[in-house]
Amino acid sequence: MPVLPTIALDTNIWIYLTKEVFFELFVKLKQGKEDEEFTVLVNDVVIKEWQRNKAKTISSLADSIKIEYKAAKSLANHLSGEAKTKLLESLAEYKDEASRIRKATDRVNSVEEFMLSCKVFDTTEKQKLYVANLAIEKQPPFQNNKNNFNDALNYRSFCEFTEDSFPHQYDLIYVSNNPDDFIDKQTKEVHASITDGLSSMSIKNVTDLGEALQLAPELIDDFDDWIDAQLEDEAMYQLDIMRGK
């Protein structure tokens, strides 16, 4: 039973975290997890998708480093003296392809290491069968013949894992940049078919990891308020018993 606020990321968000522009968010995610501000959930499907895309992710990141290297080197041409020398020295390690691939590999491996340190669980055969039946019946999100199987399976498995969690403002914060794969465009809500049969839950769907990291610590305060309210209610209940009510 998850006690802390829970965050789950789809595979694309994990891949984005390897990029330099998202490095600060990656650091905040790690720190929040280590400081027990929230739990980060990962399932076997996300791990398999990550592994399947790992080589491509490293290659893409190495290409990005090359572009950044060339841009920084071009900037050096507008400098002079010690400033130019220092910049060129700092760029030297990015000069050859092997170095860029090594840097990219180290970054990707660091994200993977953190991912595997999170709360990892396996999707169940029951969950897979449930989503497969949705696809067979052409129920949302499969009504347009789009292959959303893993997206739907991930969403249901994360929801089911957290459905008995301690009460917070949100039982689950789900971060995905592909919300159209599981959210009804008309209602802006998750397709009811994906979570049918599960306990009623409060889920916050966001496309921005930064928003999720900002929300999660606030949920701890909500949990403390809930605990205080429960203790107060229990005290009043016991007082009523003593009074013979």
- Per-residue model confidence as pLDDT tens digits over 107-164: 999 999 999 999 999 999 999 999 999 999 999 899 877 788 999 999 999 999 998 7
- The ranges of the chain with pLDDT < 70 are 1-3, 165-169, 217-245
The reported pLDDT for the residue numbered 92 is 77
CA distance 111 to 30: 9
Give the structural domain span for 205: 6-242
The reported pLDDT for the residue numbered 88 is 78
Is 76 within a domain? yes
Please report the beta strands in the chain, taking only residues with DSSP state E, as ranges in sequence order.
Answer: 6-9, 39-43, 119-121, 172-175, 203-206
The reported pLDDT for the residue numbered 240 is 62
The reported pLDDT for the residue numbered 91 is 76
Is 96 within a domain? yes
The reported pLDDT for the residue numbered 70 is 83
Tokens of 137: 């019946």
In eight-state DSSP terms, residue 4 is S
CA distance 191 to 182: 6
The reported pLDDT for the residue numbered 166 is 56
- Please enumerate in sequence order all residues whose Cβ is within 8 A of that of 3, keeping only pairs 6 or more positions apart, or say none: 39, 165, 166
Specify whether the CB–CB gap between 208 and 25 falls below 8 A.
no
The reported pLDDT for the residue numbered 234 is 57
Mean pLDDT of all residues in the chain?
Answer: 85
Instruction: Work out how many domains the chain is built from and give that number.
Output: 1
Is 115 within a domain? yes
**Residues 15-21: contacts with CB within 8 Å, 24+ apart?**
15/50, 15/53, 15/57, 16/177, 16/209, 17/111, 17/209, 18/57, 18/61, 18/104, 18/107, 18/108, 18/111, 19/61, 19/64, 20/64, 20/65, 20/68
Tokens of 237: 């209940």
Is 1 within a domain? no
